[in-house]
Structure 1
Amino acid sequence: MSEAAYQRLWDSSHLILEELLDQEPLLGEAVSERERQSFQYRLSSLYLYYLGLLRRFDTLYDQMVQPQKRRLLRRLLDSVACRVLELKDDLVRADLCETHCLDQVLQDLKLTPADLEVPIPKYFELERSSTLKEREHVLTELLSRLKPEISEGSFPILSRTEAIMLLQKAERARQGRLRAIFMREIRKEEERDRKIWEEGRFKFSQDEAAITIQKVWKGYLQRKRTQQDRRTEMEFIGMLPSASPAGPVGTRSQASLGADVRRLRQAEKEEEFQLAVVKTRDHLREVEGPDTKEKMKEQIRQWFIECHALTGRFPDYPDESLGGSSLIFADKTPEQSFDSETLKMEERKEVEQEIRIQKKAGKKPGKKKKEKDLTPDSLGPMASPDSTSPPPAPCRPLAAPTPSSLSGSPDIHAMAPLIRSILLVGPSGMGKKMLVKAVCTETGANFFDLSPENLQGKYPGKTGGQMLVHVVFKVARYLQPSVIWIGNAEKTFYKRVPKEEEEMDPKRIKKDLTKALRLLSPGDRVILIGTTDRPQVAEMKGLCRTYERILLLPRPDYASRYVLWRHMIEAQGVQGTQHLDISALAKVSDGYTAGCILQAIQAVLTERRLLQLSKRPLLTSEFLGPLAKLDPVYREEEESLKDWYFKTPLGKKRMKLLKDQDAAEEAKLAKEKKKK
């Protein structure tokens, strides 16, 4: 896209934003129970519109070159992203459910399910790559200190010759086993061919043999020609990507090259802008600074005189934390433009602010009560944000590669609704822990494991649990964004601890965990995520008080299972063939979790089976045996989890809403029946 195209996109996005802002006041009006559905529809429509606007602003910010315009776009991008999160929170309150059905809204707005995906701002990864590299270096050094020391007497010391001979023996044994397996297969095939020959099967004359070969060959050519024609047709109608590789001068390559060039120009223009900022500020401070100072003195003096004439006493000078003398001129706001004069106006405000602060009488700011630090000295350099070499933490952190989620931005996180903790509930194999790792990957967050199994034997004693939680949350704040994970979260809130787990003492961090969560403020990018498949054995009150949001993960439906089968098989390097019916696999795997599907695929697609694909195509029936050996999610287990969820605070509200709707529907039907 050219600069003119991005300018047109900016103009249309600006108009869309104005229209959305005009619709905002309508959401603040109170609605009756009858208007609940129409309110939910308006809220869902607004949510989808803001998602589309977020994509537009992300594209514009990624490719715009003008520095001042990019600063405005960055504020708009973060604000729109924050509004998306707020609307999602409003949808939860309106639907009384964490999941929403937006099919009707998508259909009315002529959108596709792809438009429901929350876009990941590109600047997350581009701007935080250096920060992540530094943090990865710190974590590597931290983890190196945690490696256990291996005593010299633990393993026998071998000479170089002895070690080589040992490796050679192991390699010969491995090759011998493989050779024996291959020879066994060859002997079986020879035996089978010998039996066929002895029984007299497939005895053809020369002409019959030639005709049979011709039939097979012509059938193969025709199937190949038909498959190629079908692919060509699908490419033509846009259902498949083009098979021809894009050349260096192709459209995609040119677009990618143009995007990279614009990013380079962004860096150049930003450097020029920063130099202009410094020069303009110095110029204003030297040339206009003395006159501005005298003018401010006169304005402040006049303000004091006017206040004394009105109230009979001189007012207190505004505190520096409130902006100093800038409160006196609060009605003056800087305008936004895109030229050098605007830059001067903005920097003039900065110079005026500096002069106001210099003129303020010295006052000591009030002391704010701080959280009690249990480790002021024991953490050493970790205790202050200026530290560069943090000491070992009690739980092993894991650095994630790239930041790619809305909550990874400090600005968005500060403005968005504060969510301190989430509980993921679902049967085993649903991918709950995978979701936690995905959050770490997308946000560039560090991973701390506070699972009861991982804490056994660490920080023992009466105050050990308190110290453990304190240290983990302190390190998590220092290395934020951070994710604190508790696997088997029900154990921390056991109704009754099983005898075999009494030594583990899974409930020892229960009270301290709740206290630590309350101390998290909107500026702390730290979140607690718990996962459980047996929430019924935990205390409902304590569990719901600790975890603000509870998400029930249902077993995958047909569409999800189809995508899982296809994606996991293709991930093994196998392309779909006419012998492999993914739809049939999705149907017969009803009730099985994603973990079960993955286990069945790994059991079939071994290294040896992958080598045989060229001679023996993959069949659908091969997956049925391994899948049948695994346990599905039985209906009783699923119903038990649903019954538990409807006992949570949000689940109770949802259940009451459904009952009220059913009662209203029955009353309406009875009224209509009475009229008839």
Structure 2
Amino acid sequence: MSQRTYNQLWTDAQLELGRLLTEELPTVPPRPEKDRVVFFQRLAMLYVRYIQIFRQLEKVYDQVVHPQKRRVIRAILDGVMGRVLELKNEMVEKEFSEYHYMDDVLHDLKLTPVDLEIPIPRYFISDRSKEFQERKTMLTDILKLVEVTESPEPLMTKGMSHEEAIKILQVVERARQGRLRAKLNEESRNMNRMYKTKDPGTAAIELATVCIQKVWRGYIQRKRAKIARDEEMIFLGMAMDPKYQLPCPAEITAQTSEACTRSKQVEHNEDYQKSVVAVTNQLRDVEGHDMSKTMKDQIRQWFIECRDATGSFPDYPDEEDGGSALIFAEKNPQQLMEEIAAKEEEDSNNKPKGKEEKKEKGKKDKGKDDEEEEEAGLKMLPSAFLSDLEVGNKTFVDFWQTRNESRNFNQRHEVELIKEENRKVIEAEIRVQVDEQMRQELAEWKLAVDKDKGGKTKGNAKKKKGSKSGKKKKKDKDLTADRTLEYLCQELVEQGLLKQANNVRLQDYMGDYSYLGTTLRQSDIEPMPSLSDVRQVLSLYAILPLGSQVVHEKAPLIKAILLAGPAGVGKKMLVHAICQETGANLFDLSPLNTAGKYPGKSGLAMMLHMVFKVARLMQPSVIWIEDAEKMFYKKVPKEEKELDPKRLKKRLAQVSQVDQRGGSCSDCRNH
């Protein structure tokens, strides 16, 4: 499709997003909903509509080549993903279930169950393809090195006497002679049969002919039956016609076009980055001096106006408060002086209250909260993404929606937009320098005025508030400070703790939607989650937070995931699929895999330290614990005592609390 088509698709998605934002951020706050069913229906409707916007924006971001548009779309896409996760979290809290069935919502919106599938953004891999490729190459090289340097186990040799050796040789030789005699006897019998064979009669020839006909007719009939069965399956739509199994020319053309588009994205992005550097330097050289001069003139004018209004020069705003940015606000000198004085007074009066006042206030607040809870009903939880979505939507409406791009056929970057964005950055840089100079100039002015009056000079330096001397959090000691990342990776690969994920995708975990979910729930029967439900939950809880840093930081945090089920249902496959979809590293801390490695408490501490350090430096990462239930044995079976499966039990809290962009998957089998 052309860039115009994707621009139109973006416009449609933004229009729908604008409608949703109008519903979610009304001018008058909505009244609390007391009916739980109605409230859940509202959540489900928003959830499904956001997924459709998510699907459209993901497609647009993957194919749009304009670098500045891509940045706007990326911010909105991350916001939509985060909002989907927030709505999912609210539905879980209201229904007390990880799985939801929205047949009625799909029917109202005229959608199919396929539209509920969570799309996995392709930029998770494409935007960091170079980094992931280098990481994959490094792991492959380490694995090859380990295979080469791994010495084979020495063969165990047992001492043997001369008599035993002679006996073995005799047995082997007699066996050889026996095989040779048997072969000669077989050849002799075959020769005798040849000499005894007579000319076959007519009856024997007919019998042989009938036998050959039976075999041939059976073969032909089976072949015809197979062809007829295949044709019937194709006619019923239960099998694909062989001519459609190979990609058709249109598909090949589309794939080639998409690959060409992605190469254009890289090219345009490189041009954009170069242009940003060039435009920034140009603005700094051309407009920097004028900006500095204008700021100084305005600040000096403010000094004079304040002195005329109050009779003395003002105190210069601190850098923490914004420096001279406060001066350029739309306020007169008197208002600005009053604001600064009020802020100082507030800081000085900000003292801790007594215990009794706090208790009384706490009781009052608690009483008010209880009353509000009784009257409240069900409300939407505050969102961390709606403000970002509102800003992104405003950017689209103000700038991109009505922009005429008839002359920008190749969808290159807009230089004027770069100038507008970088002017603010340069202005902030220059403001810091101007503030330092003007503070010095203000001090000189005050000194000159005080000398004329014959008074003593007053320093305008304010005492900085001392930082509260609280107990600093003790940093964990780095046990491997003298080792490089490559060395740690090599050691973890050699020990089998860092593994290369299998090449499987989440879409390979095939399974259909549960069409009877709503019907069963209406009959007070909790339906068994389908494989489609499992895919959706894993996409939301594992793949999206691992793939997007913004979603990971702002969305409801999922620390760990437990995959429970009998052997052979695909738990391990799902773990590998998560790693493949996000480019995550796979660390295996299963009891069977860690048995005999890094013995003792110090060894266990070293192993966990290395795993967490590498996982933190090579984000995103997944820590996998297979057969996690073995860590909670009350009594370890005799055959598993050597494995010491309860070794990680005390450290399980540390394993599940992976900071940065990491996650842990526990695999529990029910036999």
Partner AA of 1:296 in structure 2: M
Q: For 1:375, which of 475, 478, 482 is the aligned residue?
A: 478
Q: Determine the C-alpha separation between the residues in 2 that align with 1:458 and 1:213.
A: 63
Q: Which residue of 2 is the match for residue 640 of structure 1?
A: none
Q: Which residue of 2 is the match for residue 601 of structure 1?
A: none
Change (3 A) 1:422 1:299: farther
Q: Please give the per-residue CA displacement for 1:506-541, whole angstroms capped at 9, x wherever unaligned.
A: 3333333314644x44xx11111112236xxxxxxx
**Does the CA-based 8 Å contact 1:425-1:533 persist in structure 2?**
yes
Indicate the SS of the match to 1:272.
helix
**Does the CA-based 8 Å contact 2:479-2:609 persist in structure 1?**
no
Q: Which residue of 1 is the match for residue 183 of structure 2?
A: none
Q: Percent identity?
A: 40
List gaps (5 residues or longer) in structure 1.
158-175, 177-199, 535-632, 634-676
For structure 1, which segment, 347-356 or 137-146, has the greater mean C-alpha deviation from structure 2 after superposition?
137-146
Q: For 2:491, which of 368, 387, 392 is the aligned residue?
A: 392
Q: Determine the C-alpha separation between the residues in 2 that align with 1:57 and 1:365.
A: 49
Change (3 A) 1:225 1:364: farther
Q: Which residue of 1 is the match for residue 174 of structure 2?
A: none
Q: Between Structure 1 and Structure 2, whose CA radius of gyration is higher?
A: 2
Indicate the SS of the match to 1:507.
helix
**Does the CA-based 8 Å contact 2:631-2:645 persist in structure 1?**
yes
Q: Which residue of 1 is the match for residue 575 of structure 2?
A: 436
Partner AA of 1:396 in structure 2: L
Change (3 A) 1:61 1:302: farther
Partner AA of 2:426 in structure 1: V
Indicate the SS of the match to 2:130.
helix
Indicate the SS of the match to 1:424.
strand
Q: Please give the per-residue CA displacement for 1:580-636, whole angstroms capped at 9, x wherever unaligned.
A: xxxxxxxxxxxxxxxxxxxxxxxxxxxxxxxxxxxxxxxxxxxxxxxxxxxxx7xxx
Q: Which residue of 2 is the match for residue 445 of structure 1?
A: 584
Partner AA of 1:392 in structure 2: E
For structure 1, which segment, 278-287 or 348-357, has the greater mean C-alpha deviation from structure 2 after superposition?
348-357
Q: Determine the C-alpha separation between the residues in 2 that align with 1:304 and 1:517.
A: 57
Q: Determine the C-alpha separation between the residues in 2 that align with 1:471 and 1:428.
A: 30
For structure 1, which segment, 426-435 or 66-75, has the greater mean C-alpha deviation from structure 2 after superposition?
426-435
**TM-score, normalised relative to structure 2:** 0.60
Indicate the SS of the match to 2:667.
strand
**Does the CA-based 8 Å contact 1:143-1:392 persist in structure 2?**
no
**Does the CA-based 8 Å contact 1:374-1:467 persist in structure 2?**
no
**Does the CA-based 8 Å contact 1:375-1:471 persist in structure 2?**
no
Q: Determine the C-alpha separation between the residues in 1 that align with 2:259 and 2:109.
A: 34
Partner AA of 1:341 in structure 2: E
For structure 1, which segment, 410-419 or 397-406, has the greater mean C-alpha deviation from structure 2 after superposition?
397-406
Partner AA of 1:123 in structure 2: Y
1:536-575 mapped onto 2 (5 Å cutoff):
none
Change (3 A) 1:374 1:112: same
1:218-297 mapped onto 2 (5 Å cutoff):
224=227, 228=231, 231=234, 234=237, 243=243, 250-297=249-296
**Does the CA-based 8 Å contact 1:142-1:392 persist in structure 2?**
no
Q: Determine the C-alpha separation between the residues in 1 that align with 2:561 and 2:214.
A: 69
Indicate the SS of the match to 2:587.
strand
Q: Determine the C-alpha separation between the residues in 2 that align with 1:503 and 1:214.
A: 63
Change (3 A) 1:115 1:340: same
Q: Please give the per-residue CA displacement for 1:67-104, whole angstroms capped at 9, x wherever unaligned.
A: 22122111112221222222222221121111112222
Deviation at 1:116, TM superposition (A): 1.6
**Does the CA-based 8 Å contact 1:399-1:447 persist in structure 2?**
yes
1:120 aligns with 2:223: no
**Does the CA-based 8 Å contact 2:45-2:105 persist in structure 1?**
yes
1:530 aligns with 2:631: no
Q: Determine the C-alpha separation between the residues in 1 that align with 2:148 and 2:128.
A: 32
Indicate the SS of the match to 2:645.
coil
Aligned residues: 484
**Does the CA-based 8 Å contact 1:398-1:446 persist in structure 2?**
yes
Q: Determine the C-alpha separation between the residues in 1 that align with 2:148 and 2:229.
A: 62
1:594-673 mapped onto 2 (5 Å cutoff):
none
**Does the CA-based 8 Å contact 2:615-2:621 persist in structure 1?**
yes
Partner AA of 2:95 in structure 1: D
Partner AA of 2:318 in structure 1: Y
Q: Determine the C-alpha separation between the residues in 1 that align with 2:663 and 2:52.
A: 27
Q: Which residue of 1 is the match for residue 526 of structure 2?
A: none
Change (3 A) 1:266 1:485: closer
Q: Please give the per-residue CA displacement for 1:317-371, whole angstroms capped at 9, x wherever unaligned.
A: 233xx97766777999997557432221112112112223445669999899566
Q: Determine the C-alpha separation between the residues in 2 that align with 1:415 and 1:492.
A: 32
Deviation at 1:398, TM superposition (A): 1.8
Partner AA of 1:477 in structure 2: R
Q: Which residue of 2 is the match for residue 629 of structure 1?
A: none
Q: Determine the C-alpha separation between the residues in 2 that align with 1:153 and 1:401.
A: 28
Q: Please give the per-residue CA displacement for 1:211-232, whole angstroms capped at 9, x wherever unaligned.
A: 9999997998698579648746
Partner AA of 2:117 in structure 1: E
Change (3 A) 1:61 1:91: same
Q: Which residue of 2 is the match for residue 22 of structure 1?
A: 22
Q: Determine the C-alpha separation between the residues in 1 that align with 2:625 and 2:636.
A: 17
1:350 aligns with 2:489: no
Change (3 A) 1:517 1:211: closer
Q: Please give the per-residue CA displacement for 1:191-247, whole angstroms capped at 9, x wherever unaligned.
A: xxxxxxxxx9xx99x99x999999997998698579648746859xxx957835778
Change (3 A) 1:44 1:153: closer
**Does the CA-based 8 Å contact 1:420-1:528 persist in structure 2?**
yes
**Does the CA-based 8 Å contact 1:452-1:492 persist in structure 2?**
yes
Indicate the SS of the match to 1:292.
helix
Deviation at 1:437, TM superposition (A): 1.7
Q: Which residue of 2 is the match for residue 474 of structure 1?
A: 613
For structure 1, which segment, 463-472 or 38-47, has the greater mean C-alpha deviation from structure 2 after superposition?
463-472
Q: Determine the C-alpha separation between the residues in 1 that align with 2:316 and 2:611.
A: 48
**Does the CA-based 8 Å contact 1:52-1:115 persist in structure 2?**
yes
Q: Determine the C-alpha separation between the residues in 2 that align with 1:323 and 1:138.
A: 46
Deviation at 1:126, TM superposition (A): 1.9
Partner AA of 1:257 in structure 2: T
Indicate the SS of the match to 1:429.
coil
Q: Determine the C-alpha separation between the residues in 1 that align with 2:560 and 2:566.
A: 20
Deviation at 1:471, TM superposition (A): 2.3
Q: Which residue of 2 is the match for residue 586 of structure 1?
A: none
Indicate the SS of the match to 1:528.
strand
Q: Determine the C-alpha separation between the residues in 2 that align with 1:359 and 1:7.
A: 43
Q: Which residue of 1 is the match for residue 598 of structure 2?
A: 459
Q: Determine the C-alpha separation between the residues in 1 that align with 2:265 and 2:99.
A: 40
Q: Determine the C-alpha separation between the residues in 1 that align with 2:222 and 2:655.
A: 71
Change (3 A) 1:244 1:530: closer
Indicate the SS of the match to 1:110.
coil
Partner AA of 2:277 in structure 1: V
Q: Please give the per-residue CA displacement for 1:619-675, whole angstroms capped at 9, x wherever unaligned.
A: xxxxxxxxxxxxxx7xxxxxxxxxxxxxxxxxxxxxxxxxxxxxxxxxxxxxxxxxx
Q: Determine the C-alpha separation between the residues in 2 that align with 1:315 and 1:375.
A: 44
Deviation at 1:115, TM superposition (A): 1.1
Q: Determine the C-alpha separation between the residues in 1 that align with 2:49 and 2:133.
A: 36
**Does the CA-based 8 Å contact 1:304-1:314 persist in structure 2?**
no
**Does the CA-based 8 Å contact 2:50-2:84 persist in structure 1?**
yes
Change (3 A) 1:251 1:233: farther
Change (3 A) 1:481 1:2: same
Change (3 A) 1:8 1:492: same
Q: Which residue of 2 is the match for residue 12 of structure 1?
A: 12
Change (3 A) 1:133 1:483: same
Q: Which residue of 1 is the match for residue 648 of structure 2?
A: 509
Q: Determine the C-alpha separation between the residues in 2 that align with 1:532 and 1:217.
A: 51
Higher relative contact order (CA 8 A, sep 6+): 2
For structure 1, which segment, 495-504 or 457-466, has the greater mean C-alpha deviation from structure 2 after superposition?
495-504
Q: Determine the C-alpha separation between the residues in 2 that align with 1:330 and 1:392.
A: 58
**TM-score, normalised relative to structure 1:** 0.60
Q: Determine the C-alpha separation between the residues in 2 that align with 1:464 and 1:218.
A: 69
Indicate the SS of the match to 1:422.
strand
